[in-house]
Amino acid sequence: MTIRFRVIGSGSNGNAAYISSSDETLIIDAGLSRKRIVNALLEDQISLDSVIGVLISHSHTDHCRGLPVLCDTIRDIPIFGSEGTKEGLYSYKRYDPRWRDIGRSCQTFSFGNQFSVRSFDILPLRTIHDTKDPSAFQISINDIKISIITDTGKITKEHLRSMNESSLILIEMNHDIEALKSSKRPIWLKKRIQASHLANSESSDVFKTLIDGSTKAVFLGHLSGECNSPNLVGSEVRRWHSENQSSWDWYICKRDISGTVVRFDGQKVKTEMNPIDLTKKSSSNVSSDKKIKLDEFFK
């Protein structure tokens, strides 16, 4: 069996991904426009009728703002989130009445308790973030497991176990510590970022535990536009690889460009995405990405 996985967007300006198997598709987060999510599915020849649900990791708007229009397009689509996420979604009714129905209809799960959505088995894992009941996920389709872990200030034992069991991993590399320290952000915001998002070096610290695991590909996401860059992430990966010799490919999920579809049959990863060149000379320049508003990390 071959599954398809695509990160449509990853960053504080919007997050969404999908996993598709046979005629069933699961969307993870809906923080992008309806057009961008739907176009990605149609580009990959995935019918909207195949969508069986949307997992929402937490209620910050960069992970859920597209729900009202997505639900208008794909009628009666089931939404799944933690109890805190359900409350957060419902609270947005003051901005748009459609959130009232979204919040009410959101089906809740408990951390550490696996549940199923058709052929997908989902294990929700608690993350460390500045909102109520934020979630990471291990998603299983037959014998294939995928871990999606972003927006967390710490990697837990449960996260490590999930990643060790997973063939595909999406993990955040949010900021470079020195770039954050030297930025013009106020002290309180720097502390908030450090407590609720993973630095590049913090993410790379966990990869040693994957050497004897099931990992086939690692996707690095949720890069800050001001305090990180693909160059800095690539440098950190090359440093880590030179000391540990990873056996998997690494891919960077860019903020404003959708990744291409990844196909995985349980053994081999096939994608048009270019992996990080582990032989390339590193550059330390921070990206001149769009200037980010101070409220970026509240999303």
53 within a domain of the structure (yes/no): yes
272 within a domain of the structure (yes/no): yes
Q: Give the list of residues 6+ apart from residue 66 with CB closer than 8 angstroms, or none.
A: 14, 16, 30, 31, 32, 33, 34, 36, 37
* Separation CA 137–CA 69 (nearest Å): 24
Q: Within 13 A of 146's CA, how many CA atoms are on the CB side?
A: 28
**What pLDDT digit, counting tens, does each position of 94-116 carry?**
999 999 999 999 999 999 999 99
More confident residue, 136 or 286: 136
243 within a domain of the structure (yes/no): yes
284 within a domain of the structure (yes/no): no
Do strands 115-117 and 120-126 pair parallel, antiparallel, or not at all (unpaired)?
antiparallel
Given this model, what pLDDT does residue 283 score? 54
* Separation CA 92–CA 103 (nearest Å): 9
191 within a domain of the structure (yes/no): yes
The residue among 19, 20, 32 whose CA lies nearest residue 219 is 19
Cα angle, residue 76 at apex, residues 74 and 79 outer, rounded to 5°: 95
Q: Is the pLDDT of residue 284 over 80?
A: no
Given this model, what pLDDT does residue 255 score? 85
The fraction of the chain above a pLDDT of 90, given in percent, is: 88
Total number of domains in the chain: 1
* Separation CA 92–CA 131 (nearest Å): 14
Q: Is the pLDDT of residue 282 over 80?
A: no
Q: What are 263's strand-pairing partners?
A: 4, 270
Neighbour-count burial of 92, counting CB atoms closer than 10 A to its CB (0-12 exposed, 13-18 middle, 19+ buried): buried
**What pLDDT digit, counting tens, does each position of 19-38 carry?**
999 899 999 999 999 999 99
The answer to whether 298 and 63 are in contact (CB under 8 A) is no
The residue among 35, 38, 36, 57 whose CA lies nearest residue 49 is 38
The answer to whether 63 and 48 are in contact (CB under 8 A) is no
Question: Residue 93's domain is classified under what CATH number?
Answer: 3.60.15.10
User: pLDDT tier at 212 (50, 70, 90 boundaries)?
Assistant: confident
Mean pLDDT of 74-94: 97
287 within a domain of the structure (yes/no): no
Q: Within 13 A of 37's CA, how many CA atoms are on the CB side?
A: 31
Residue for token digits 């014998």? 143
**What pLDDT digit, counting tens, does each position of 230-255 carry?**
999 999 999 999 999 889 999 999 88
Given this model, what pLDDT does residue 293 score? 34
75 within a domain of the structure (yes/no): yes
**254 — phi, psi (to 5°)?**
-80, 155
133 within a domain of the structure (yes/no): yes
User: pLDDT tier at 294 (50, 70, 90 boundaries)?
Assistant: very low
Q: Is 235 left (phi over 0), alpha (psi -120 to 50) or beta?
A: alpha
Q: Give the list of residues 6+ apart from residue 243 with CB closer than 8 angstroms, or none.
A: none
| Domain span including residue 255 | 3-276
